[in-house]
Amino acid sequence: MRPAPQSASGDGPGLSAAASGLDHLPIFLQLRATPVAVVGGGQVAERKIKLLLRVGAHVTVIAPRLCETLAARAAAGSLTHRAEAFAPEQLEGMRLVIAATDRTEVNAAVSAAARARAIPVNVVDDAGLSSCYFPAIIDRAPLIVAVGSGGQAPVLARWVREQIEALLPATLGSLARFIGERRRRVQRALAPGVRAAFWERIVRGAAATHILMGDAHGARGEFERELHAAQLSGARRIGEVYLIGAGPGDPDLLTLRALQLLQQADVILYDRLVPEAILERARRDARRVFVGKDSTCEPRRTHIDQAQIEELMVRLACSGERVARLKGGDPFVFGRGGEEIHALARHGIPFIIVPGITAALAAAAAAAIPLTQRTIAQSLTFVTGHALDEQTLDWAALARPHQTVVFYMGVAHLEHICARLGAAGAQPILPAALIERATLPGQRVVRGTLASIAALAREARITPPALLLVGEVAALGTEATAAEGPVDLDRHLDNPLVPAEDTSEH
């Protein structure tokens, strides 16, 4: 609890405020066409003025001089400028006063004059002189989140704002408008007792997710379906599926949308590549179902097969659940995402696809290996190293210089892959790197050449998940954290593409 403002008498926190710890009433002010005074004409004043103009206030700026941009606004007629020193009478008729001068005595005089006239006053950065203050806001108009600390810890309030901001989809405002436009209709169509549950389904369900994705047409369809279902009691509700790329494993590499949908889902279907740290970002009460196909991340020993996963997804969604199907990396890079959406579409189940950072990108970043580099690598290929015998890869194309080739699921076939590239014409000295558990605890990078990498991997006991990266760029990388053998400093220092300071960390 902060002390009562010194310049004010009798408006300090009362007993009940002290008891509750709440000493400001959060309130949203309608200021359209309302006279507001801002004392001060600098950049600090301008920040507040911008906000006041956005809400349609009639702003009078009291300051002998204005900064350039404020002067331009005054010239354009968007505010009134009184080019005078501050005098208390200037506040007559004002509904809100902001003091933003760099002189404490002027700010104090403004505060006293405003209080004497019972006008709420904010002195920028001075909670003691203020009777109200500006919260940190998240603007999803018409939906607004305001975070305040009683003027005591603005930086903390801004930090909290950022935390919340990340969780709120950018399009929440459209959702608020969508709902606003339909309120009356729902009021007429549904009995009061069922309305709240109906809106709950809209806000948490497929209609909202369509708005989130910018698909107003789809949202209208879902809304009509829900309304129809609510009118015919007992009608079947359908859920939805979020096909989410969970990235390479580090939870900080989830996208904001992945996080938002994870927090919305009732059930989480996840596989081996998704670590606990990511599952913890889901709603606490969400059910988790492991649908990993094997224990090695290489699709060999299969416990639950693809058809069973698809069947489970369909069954859950048909019973009205919101299902998050979490996949390592990106769902459409060796993730069988295509088959899953096909199954969903066949059953008319709405779905959303959220791209994720695929392992190759994460591994490259982890090892500081650029995947493309002018003159060295002009194209990039992702190849599955799994089931090599059955597929018809164009080895001659993969063996050509000036490109980067990344093999997924290749650990078990390293020797074979390197031999095939060599036989197709790749140089034995072609640089190669193996990145194990990219972005996960215990991440390792092994560097070598086409001729040596398989033996080095065996020696280091590299196990899945790991990626093999082949190409001239593999010689460029260096990373601070990986537990790798000694780096050949001479080679790096000779190489003009590697900044010298990078090597000094080793």
Q: Which residues are catalytic?
A: 271, 293
- Give the span between the Cα atoms of 33 and 168, in whole angstroms: 30
Least distance (Å) from ligand SAH to the CB of residue 397? 21
Tell me whether the omega of the peptide bond preceding residue 499 falls within 30 degrees of 0, making it cis. no
- Give the span between the Cα atoms of 241 and 321, in whole angstroms: 8
Q: Which is nearer to ligand SAH, 199 or 332 (CB)?
A: 332
Residue 158 makes CB contacts below 8 A (sequence gap 6+) with: 136, 147
Q: Which is nearer to ligand SAH, 115 or 437 (CB)?
A: 437
Question: Cα dist. 241→163, 227, 237 in Å?
Answer: 26, 20, 14
E-state strands within 246-331: 267-270, 287-290, 322-327
Q: How many helices (DSSP H) and strands (DSSP E) are in the chain? A: 19, 17
Task: Read off the DSSP letter of residue 70.
Answer: H
In this structure, the chain runs to a length of: 506
Least distance (Å) from ligand SAH to the CB of residue 392? 20
Q: Which is nearer to ligand SAH, 132 or 445 (CB)?
A: 445
Residue at shortest CB range from ligand SAH = 329
Q: Which is nearer to ligand SAH, 282 or 360 (CB)?
A: 360
Least distance (Å) from ligand SAH to the CB of residue 271? 9
- Give the span between the Cα atoms of 25 and 219, in whole angstroms: 36
Tell me if 238 sits within 8 A of 377, measured CB to CB. no
Q: Which is nearer to ligand SAH, 205 or 335 (CB)?
A: 335
- Give the span between the Cα atoms of 23 and 133, in whole angstroms: 12
Q: Residue 77: CA atoms inside 13 Å, Cβ hemisphere, count?
A: 0
Can you tell me which residue has the tokens 């000694």? 486
Q: Cβ–Cβ contacts within 10 Å for residue 122, how many? A: 24
Token pair recorded at residue 453? 């990498």
∠ CA 137-139-144, rounded to 5°:
75
Least distance (Å) from ligand SAH to the CB of residue 59? 52
Can you tell me which residue has the tokens 């930086």? 155
Residue 483 makes CB contacts below 8 A (sequence gap 6+) with: 444
Map 163-176 to HEC letters.
Answer: HHHHHCCCCHHHHH
Least distance (Å) from ligand SAH to the CB of residue 264? 22
- Give the span between the Cα atoms of 147 and 24, in whole angstroms: 12
Report the candidate in 276, 319, 264, 310 with the shortest Cα–Cα distance to residue 291.
Answer: 310
Q: Which is nearer to ligand SAH, 222 or 436 (CB)?
A: 436
Least distance (Å) from ligand SAH to the CB of residue 283? 24
- Give the span between the Cα atoms of 260 and 387, in whole angstroms: 36
Q: Cβ–Cβ contacts within 10 Å for residue 459, how many? A: 11
Least distance (Å) from ligand SAH to the CB of residue 452? 20
Residues in contact with ligand SAH by CB under 6 A are: 248-249, 273, 297-298, 327-330, 333-335, 358-359, 363, 408-409, 435, 437-440, 464-467
Q: Which is nearer to ligand SAH, 298 or 340 (CB)?
A: 298
Least distance (Å) from ligand SAH to the CB of residue 406? 9
Q: Which is nearer to ligand SAH, 3 or 442 (CB)?
A: 442
Q: Which is nearer to ligand SAH, 240 or 330 (CB)?
A: 330
Q: Cβ–Cβ contacts within 10 Å for residue 345, how many? A: 11
Least distance (Å) from ligand SAH to the CB of residue 191? 47
